[in-house]
Amino acid sequence: MTTLSAPYLVRHDPGVRPTMKDVATAAGVALKTVSRVVNGEPGVHPATAERVRAAIDRLGYSRNESARVLRRGRTATIGLVIEDVADPFYSGLSRAVEDVVIGHDCLLLTGSSGEKPVRERELVETFCTRRVDGLIVVPAGDDHTYLRPELEAGTKVVFADRPPGAGLDVDTVLADNAGGAEQAIRHLLGHGHHRIAFLGDDPAIYTAAERHRGYREALGGLYDPRLVSMRPPTLEGVRADLDRMFALDRPPTALFTGNGRYTVTTLRALAGRPIALVGFDDFELSDLLQPGVTVVAQDPSWMGRVAAELLFRRLRGDVGPPEHIQLPVRLIPRGSGELP
């Protein structure tokens, strides 16, 4: 006897997956019974369920989620658009979002926009095409009218870290950017500094603009545009701007850096030259540098968690007016901000 036809020896062609129907045939039951077992629905005799489960294992069956989603409408999927997973701020935020999403038995789709509005939109549209139930977006662009059809179709959207462009009133979770900058500047003023430079991202980026606003307001009459540099944080660029500022008649005696990446780049550009410095965003090892780096710390995990929980509240049916949550930041003195 060379032909083995016992069901447990059946080998499927690569690429051909068993379906519920195959399982049903193998177990000698109707398709619906398999469905019941797979979904843990009641009303199946234990012995029958056991037979079905055996068939599932034997065939290596796994449910086709696309078919399920098509039928049910709900995907149990959330989309997250951030700027860059490789940036510690966003990877921390991502992890927190992932944890909340997992806790709701959902899947998370994540994508990096790389600060490109086109890519942001592509990601959102890709996610919508996959019918995510909700979206958390750290926007790169400032026109979000393309989201309208999605919102009308019932997709819930929460913006995090930065607000949407004009004309879209949805939930937001933002940090107190301006307030944090003011705190930083008042701290430096309190330590006797009057010439405080600002080094930050392009003002097109909301957080950079807000932090600059806080800086400017806290400085009042001391504000001097020659002490402001707003551009992408390249080492060469920062170095050039520092050189320019240090060559002024009245050079800066303190620096305020507009985000974590900027702080690190600035420290590198300073190459050990001691100068008072406060940075926006905490970062790993800020405490181990000499001197420790004084920062205005945000909590990326907190932001992620709050945004995700707000989103799930909406998905549960909360239809109140859009919420605008502002998360506080806090100044952590470590030495660099207390230099004379």
The helix/strand count (H/E) of the chain reads as 12, 12
Residue 169 binding target from its own copies, DNA, none, CB below 5 to 8 Å by type: none
Instruction: For 201-301, list the strands marked E by DSSP.
Output: 228-230, 254-257, 276-280, 294-297
35 binds DNA (CB under 7 A): yes
What SS3 class is residue 78? strand
Per-residue binding string, its own copies, 221-260, x by CB under 8 A, is ----------------------------------------
What SS3 class is residue 31? helix
CA 77, 82, 85, 90 dihedral sign is: negative
Tokens representing 271 are 């190459």
290 binds DNA (CB under 7 A): no
CA 176, 181, 185, 188 dihedral sign is: positive
Phi, psi of 150 (to 5 degrees): -65, -45
Query: Rounded CA gap, 84 and 336, in Å?
Result: 28
301 binds DNA (CB under 7 A): no
315 binds DNA (CB under 7 A): no
Q: Based on CB atoms, which residue is closest to DNA, 2 or 129? A: 129
Residue 30 binding target from its own copies, DNA, none, CB below 5 to 8 Å by type: DNA
Residue 44 binding target from DNA, its own copies, none, CB below 5 to 8 Å by type: DNA
Residue 50 binding target from its own copies, DNA, none, CB below 5 to 8 Å by type: none
Among 7, 28, 103, 154, interactor with its own copies by CB under 8 A: 154
Site for DNA in 61-100 (CB under 7 A): 63-64, 67-68, 70-72
Among 14, 15, 42, 167, interactor with DNA by CB under 7 A: 42
